[in-house]
Structure 1
Amino acid sequence: MSVLFSEGFLGGLRLENRLVVSPMCQYSAVDGIAQPWHLVHLGQMMISGAGLVIVEATAVEPQGLGTRGDMGLYDDAQESALSELVGNLRTLSSAKIGIQLTHTGRKAATRTIPERWRGEPLPPEEGPWKPLAPSALAFDEGWQTPQELDETGIRRIIDAFARSAERAVRAGFDLVEIHGAHGYLIHEFLSPITNRRTDDWGGTIEKRNRFACEVAKAVRKVWPRERALGFRLNSTDWHPDGSTLEDALALAAELKSIGVDYVVMSSGNIAPGIRIPPATPGHQVAFAASVRKQIGMTAMAVGMILDPHQAEAIIASGDADFVALARPFLDNPRWGLHAAAALGDDIAYPPQYIRARPNNWLGFSHVHPHSRAPATRLQLDRPRSVSSWDRPNSA
């Protein structure tokens, strides 16, 4: 068996393999409530072959919504919808299910990506809500100047993360991931580009890290130890005045001491106009390797991981413990199943699709000529996943 499809652990949570579906906003919620689209989308991800599926960035309070189509987890109706969603997803596979909690900070009140690819602030006539931030600095020209948070507001949002985590417990999620990257509120506190405060929440790196750490502590307090707690971390702002990898490693060490089980190492997006190196396959893997090797913390690599052999090499080399993919799963919702075949692994298939399993379909090697698992190389054994009517089928 490949290392990509070997079991792995996030804290006390056991995963069948080391392949993760990264959170992907669908901009399809109504009043923050999950809709049928979410079941269709996430249902596909549950039968993709991944060991963990993480639900999209979900706001912890109304002002934390990025768009009107964002998911929320701050009221009973949202919790009820997500509880039903998780229950339905559990019937589809044994993959674990997580959710990412966020507050978009100064990036709130924008159009959705389908409306305009890069997003843009909602105009006054469309009733935008007031963004919040550590400092009153607009994201870009034409964007709202956010309200600078006072002590009361900061404490309210920390508590909101904890309350949303409690709702996630009741909804049945296996994992919570705190979003501390991509220019959203937690990242805004971390970066000197966006945090100009001179009180106990800004200035030195210790003070800039304080908000992230307080959020992590609050969530850890209410999140069961047998379920996993993660943190998506910005590795660098790609700007001489911004946060650096050294800053990220210092924060990762603090998060580890708090009880965070893993980090996902991303980068960039703190402000427009910053020159970022072109994205190439695996361009952020080195960040995961740094935190894993220097801090000794479980690390998840993300960013342009496109090929099964590339993913396998990342795990085999020790650069990361897990790999998280987003757009590859949108492009091919069976990415994990095909990756297993390419690596020569025979993993469980959904019973309904068993006739397309590599060793049950002679056509597989023709459709996937680079696979190491054509029907002629695998024993035509009884499918692991179960069904009395399943038989090898050459159709």
Structure 2
Amino acid sequence: MNYRRVASLKTSQDFFDYLESLDVTLPFDEEVASGPASPLAQPLRIGERTIGNRFCILPMEGWDGTPDGRVTELVERRWVHFGISGAKLLWGGEAVAVRYDGRANPNQLVSTDQTTEELARLREKMVDEHRTRFSTADDLLVGLQLTHSGRFARPNRKETLEPTIVYHHPILDRRVGIDVDYPVLADDEIRRLVEDFVRAAKRAAGAGFDFVDIKHCHGYLGHEFLSGYDRPGPFGGSFENRTRFLREIVEGIRSESPGLLLGVRLSAADMLPFKKGADVVGIPEEGDETYRYAFGGDGSGLAFDLAEPIRFLDLLKELDIPLVCISVGSPYYNPHIQRPALFPPSDGYLPPEDPLVGVARQIDVTAKLKQHAPELIVVGSGYTYLQDWLPNVAQSVVRQGMADSIGLGRMVLSYPDLPADVIEGRRLSRKRICRTFSDCTTGPRNGLISGCYPLDPFYKSRPEAKELAQIKQAWTGEQQGR
């Protein structure tokens, strides 16, 4: 690969010239404004509430809860960083499973009657830290992401997959050894799962959260329903049936928690699963001539068709769901689409395209969906790989109305207060900017807690850092031996 590192693009002209060599166009403002007049400092209205600026913190799993799904000091540290980030929209804080078997890892948080008080204290601690740092939290909107991990569930052991599937996916089933006779989720089981989401939302409301995210992204259960074109019965086939899971959850929440705001994080488009090629660069899996398993796909498995995602946003408007966070793809089977990075995790592949191509793709998809649904508050994803140039692109996106809010994930692990630095006009701390080394993913993929081991001294000094270094060294040796 001859991709240039973003850190080597020292001037805006360097950045433009490199984008031109890639035939990539990104919105870009030469000067980043600060203070109250900054486009990124402008408030958003949602009903009677105000969101104080245009930065959003996206939910991340830390693999650092207790085995029974409770909050730990490591979880609290991460949430405190979210609070002092300066972002005024905190999208879900963390992916919290609505029941035990829905966890993506054996240390993921779970919503239960026993954990609700802990989640309430966690939210309160985060809000208090935000208020201390920024004088007020009245313009802070805090959500909780509710999830079931579906075919990627590992609730008991890090090495043991315990999948719940909506339909049989020939490529993904083959990857993990799901037999053709493995049972799919029955209709009555789906309705019980709907009730679990409704109960979890009621707990979240009781714990003081302003909204819940009904997660429909990244290959997890909600997202899989959207691609269940061949599933028979009331939860598959037609668009109406494939969105029934969402609609029944919303109906239940409206009945049980009528004052609770709702949002959806959506993988608005998808592609074929990718795998390592002979040179470790990602290549698409071989499949049928027509790929039928990509919501928002064009049938080829390699391009998007936004007709159904646009229809999905129309449904959100009908359901009075004002918040939508746009993502694409899945970190499990096509991470270069979902999470552009130069360095792959230990179980990944080298990117088959410059990651800036992936960033531009996500920004373009989000802009097209925002253009169709100006009434919705649309949050964009995929910005971390922009690194030093993130503020310039983010400001231009917001200024042009291509998205309402800029979502940050991995960046906040290494540089939690980047939003505050941008809005308050401070020079970025280059030593803290995420360079997408993917250690925060390699760690969890090998059963370790997630954190920024290269740049955060806290994680760098932990014993897991040595174990992670050995894992990476072994992976590098394996690739060099090919």
TM-score, with length taken from structure 2: 0.63
Task: Check the 8 A contact 1:176/1:229 in 2, yes or no.
Answer: yes
Q: Which residue of 2 aligns with 1:292?
A: 370
> Which is worse superposed, 279-288 or 17-26?
279-288
Task: Check the 8 A contact 1:10/1:228 in 2, yes or no.
Answer: no
Structure 2 letter corresponding to 1:85: L
Matched, 1:135 2:180: no
Matched, 1:169 2:205: yes
Task: Check the 8 A contact 1:238/1:275 in 2, yes or no.
Answer: no
For the residues of structure 1 that align with 2:189 and 2:215, how far apart are their CA atoms?
19
Instruction: Write the mapping of 1:301-380 to structure 2, written as runs, cut at 5 A.
Output: 301-305=380-384, 306=386, 307-342=390-425
Instruction: Write the mapping of 1:84-233 to structure 2, written as runs, cut at 5 A.
Output: 84-93=121-130, 94=137, 95-109=140-154, 122-123=159-160, 130-137=162-169, 139-144=173-178, 147-192=183-228, 196-225=230-259, 227-233=260-266
> Which is worse superposed, 137-146 or 246-255?
137-146
Cα deviation for residue 271 of structure 1 reads 7.0
Residues 84 and 143 (structure 1 numbering): CA distance in 2 closer, same or farther, change over 3 Å?
farther
Matched, 1:256 2:317: yes
For the residues of structure 1 that align with 2:156 and 2:411, how far apart are their CA atoms?
24
For the residues of structure 2 that align with 1:333 and 1:270, how far apart are their CA atoms?
22
For the residues of structure 2 that align with 1:300 and 1:253, how far apart are their CA atoms?
16
Provide, for residues 141-162 of structure 1, a one-character-per-residue CA deviation record: whole Å limited to 9, x for no partner: 2344563111210101111111
For the residues of structure 2 that align with 1:270 and 1:334, how far apart are their CA atoms?
25
Task: Check the 8 A contact 2:96/2:109 in 1, yes or no.
Answer: yes
Q: Which residue of 2 aligns with 1:9?
A: 45
Cα deviation for residue 196 of structure 1 reads 2.9
Match of 1:268 among 326, 329, 353: 329
Greater fraction of residues in helix: 2
Provide, for residues 198-248 of structure 1, a one-character-per-residue CA deviation record: whole Å limited to 9, x for no partner: 2121112222222222223333443444x5311011211124432212111
Cα deviation for residue 136 of structure 1 reads 4.3
Matched, 1:243 2:256: no
Match of 2:110 among 52, 58, 72: 72
Cα deviation for residue 291 of structure 1 reads 2.1
Structure 2 letter corresponding to 1:293: Q
Could you list the runs of 4 or more consecutive aligned residues of structure 1 that deviate by over 6 angstroms after TM superposition?
Answer: 365-368
Q: Could you say what the CA RMSD is over the residues aligned between the two structures, in angstroms?
A: 2.5
Q: Which residue of 1 aligns with 2:350?
A: none
Residues 12 and 180 (structure 1 numbering): CA distance in 2 closer, same or farther, change over 3 Å?
farther
For the residues of structure 1 that align with 2:155 and 2:173, how far apart are their CA atoms?
11
For the residues of structure 2 that align with 1:273 and 1:320, how far apart are their CA atoms?
24
For the residues of structure 1 that align with 2:48 and 2:212, how far apart are their CA atoms?
13
For the residues of structure 1 that align with 2:183 and 2:219, how far apart are their CA atoms?
16
For the residues of structure 1 that align with 2:428 and 2:94, how far apart are their CA atoms?
35
Provide, for residues 286-344 of structure 1, a one-character-per-residue CA deviation record: whole Å limited to 9, x for no partner: 222222221332211111254112111111000011111111111211101211134xx
Residues 8 and 122 (structure 1 numbering): CA distance in 2 closer, same or farther, change over 3 Å?
same
SS of residue matched to 1:215: helix
Structure 2 letter corresponding to 1:106: R
Q: Which residue of 1 aligns with 2:449?
A: none
5+ residue gaps in structure 2?
A: 1-36, 131-136, 273-290, 297-305, 338-352, 431-482
Structure 1 letter corresponding to 2:418: W
Q: Which residue of 1 aligns with 2:119?
A: 82
SS of residue matched to 1:289: helix
Cα deviation for residue 278 of structure 1 reads 5.1
For the residues of structure 1 that align with 2:42 and 2:144, how far apart are their CA atoms?
23
Matched, 1:24 2:60: yes
For the residues of structure 2 that align with 1:154 and 1:205, how far apart are their CA atoms?
17
Task: Check the 8 A contact 2:264/2:323 in 1, yes or no.
Answer: yes
Task: Check the 8 A contact 2:421/2:428 in 1, yes or no.
Answer: no
Cα deviation for residue 367 of structure 1 reads 6.7
Residues 168 and 215 (structure 1 numbering): CA distance in 2 closer, same or farther, change over 3 Å?
same
Structure 1 letter corresponding to 2:321: V
Match of 1:59 among 97, 102, 109: 97
> Which is worse superposed, 64-73 or 197-206?
197-206
Cα deviation for residue 60 of structure 1 reads 0.5
SS of residue matched to 2:401: coil
Q: Which residue of 2 aligns with 1:380?
A: none
For the residues of structure 2 that align with 1:308 and 1:274, how far apart are their CA atoms?
23
> Which is worse superposed, 268-277 or 309-318?
268-277
Task: Check the 8 A contact 1:300/1:323 in 2, yes or no.
Answer: yes
5+ residue gaps in structure 1?
A: 113-120, 343-357, 359-364, 369-395
TM-score, with length taken from structure 1: 0.77
Task: Check the 8 A contact 2:187/2:235 in 1, yes or no.
Answer: no
